[in-house]
Chain A
């Protein structure tokens, strides 16, 4: 029991920022009471729209109908055979997906946890004929690394090799992006411009090679973007890896 339960109203009315939203959705998956309350408050909120109803221009109807004629409805979600489908696995809470205490200061913790460490190159790579792109970076002699503890949102490490001109991010226990959103990666140039470096797949533990040239970048950022990503960040980074601190 915690403050999280009090967020049903703000969540139902889309009034949480992206990190709060991601955390609350994790809580929702496990809290029947909150799910029921959110459903009711969403219905209630929708009723408020009765008071502001305005007929749209007739051209909108044509646009909508023309739009739908060009795309089929999504395939339905087919129930998985066997045991009940997943979101609520209360009997056996997975540590990773488990109950997550609400951290007011999590966003700050992102910056507090900043630290740098040295990657010891594994060994000689003579004997390793086929390294993946990620391994090549991780094992490069000039690999340098920045580790961030994102508090309850997980942990992430960016490794950059200037000689390979590549960077890799590895995450551990990373919370999912909010529904309908993606985590997008960015390189920050010395001029403090953000260059898109690809989307992160939705998985708590993963290793991703960033798209694009890494040698000149002064930082790597992660932002929460609308599904499919954006050309430029539309929100402040939830994590910023300062590569000038990397060693």
Chain B
């Protein structure tokens, strides 16, 4: 785990995303004191990941922008509550983004028919464009190679959960396995990724 820099303030539960965690935590801390330029810097360092995640989950670019904007406004408002001892700044932000993105797809579905679900599920993701635009960072390569070591069923369960935004019950149905099996695949897959990527308390 020597490729990972420690998070300040000791006893972190997690590990920096992108390797610039101390800087991001500092930017959030300054944001909490009302420093808008620090928050702008925080935005610049994290927005590709935040927007990319929102886009991947909600699919619709306009919705993804709204979700991302709401998440950053929440992050600004709750920057005073961020505790670097409990995790990285990027992890904290992306947790907010993911939750909002998932809430968005679920409420859109609740408001419309299940046909939408099918469209969402069957709409091809433009991998080429995504890859082109993606930051070709070392970190991304490292994550991809870790994901590649998962078993097929683990990877499927993790991706449907995180990027698909489905509940574990829905994942179990999609994969036609018992709920207990889906739970186990999701957790085992994530634990394996955690260990491979050196995220530890």
**Which residues of chain B from 77 to 125 have any CB-CB distance to chain A below 8 Å in the complex?**
77-81, 86-88, 90-91, 94-95, 97-99, 102-103, 106-107, 110-111
Please state if A53 and B134 are interface contacts (CB–CB under 8 Å): yes
Most chain B CB within a 10 A radius of its CB, from A8, A45, A48: A48
Contact with B along A32-65 (1 / 0, CB 8 A): 0000100111111111111111111100110111
Which stretch of A10-18, A136-144, A162-170 is in the interface?
Answer: A10-18
Q: How distant is B187 from chain A, measured CB to nearest CB, in Å?
A: 3
Of A71-79, A84-92, A119-127, A151-159, which stretch is located at the interface? A71-79
A244 interface hit (Cβ, 8 Å): no
Which of B34, B140, B201 contacts A53 (CB under 8 A)? B140
- Cβ-defined contact, B161 with A15, below 8 A: yes
With a cutoff of 8 Å between Cβ atoms, the chain A residues found around residue B86 in the complex are 39
Chain B residues bordering chain A, tally (CB within 8 A): 85
Q: Does A9 reach chain B (CB closer than 8 Å)?
A: yes
Residues of chain B within 8 A (CB-CB) of A81 are: none
Q: Once the chains bind, are A16 and B167 in contact (CB under 8 Å)?
A: yes
User: Contacts A41-B194, A47-B143, A75-B80 hold; do A60 and B17 have CB atoms under 8 A apart?
Assistant: no
B48:A40 contact, CB within 8 angstroms: no
- Chain A residues with Cβ under 8 A from B111's Cβ? 232, 234
In the bound complex, CA of A9 to CA of B98 (Å)? 14
B63 within 8 A of A: no
Q: A141 to B169, alpha carbons, bound, how many Å?
A: 46
Please tell me if A190 contacts chain B, counting CB pairs below 8 Å: no
B71 CB to nearest A CB, Å? 9
Contact status of A71 and B73, CB under 8 A, knowing A17-B167, A234-B111: yes
Contact of B163 among A44, A52, A57, A75 (CB under 8 A): A52
Closest CB of chain B to A90's CB: distance in Å?
Answer: 19
Tell me whether A41 and B40 are in contact (CB under 8 A).
Answer: no
In angstroms, how far is the closest chain A Cβ from the Cβ of B180? 8
CA distance A57 to B51 in the complex (A): 9
Closest to B44 in A: A61
Q: Which residues of B sit under 8 angstroms from A82, Cβ to Cβ?
A: none
Q: What separation, in Å, do the CA atoms of A180 and B140 have in the docked complex?
A: 31
Please pick, from B64, B77, B90, B169, the residue contacting A17 in the complex, using a CB distance under 8 A: B169
- Find chain A residues with CB under 8 A from B39 CB: 65, 68
The interface residues of chain A lying within 8 Å CB-to-CB of B187 are 6-10, 41
Asked if A16 meets B43 with Cβ closer than 8 Å, knowing A6-B184, A8-B187, the reply is: no
In the complex, A63→B40 CA distance in Å? 11
Asked whether A40 lies within 8 Å of B72 as measured between CB atoms, the reply is no
Question: Interface on A for B, CB 8 Å cutoff?
Answer: 3, 6-10, 12-17, 36, 39-57, 60-61, 63-65, 67-69, 71-77, 180, 226, 232-235
In the A-B complex, the 10 residue pairs with the smallest Cβ-Cβ separation, listed nearest first, are A43-B14, A9-B187, A39-B13, A56-B51, A46-B94, A54-B52, A53-B48, A46-B91, A49-B53, A53-B52
Sample (8) of A-B pairs whose CB atoms are under 8 Å apart: A13-B158, A14-B98, A41-B190, A51-B134, A52-B52, A54-B48, A63-B69, A226-B103
Q: A55-B47, A57-B65 are in contact. List 11 more A-B contacts (CB 8 A).
A: A14-B98, A44-B199, A48-B163, A49-B97, A50-B18, A52-B130, A53-B134, A55-B48, A56-B65, A73-B77, A76-B81
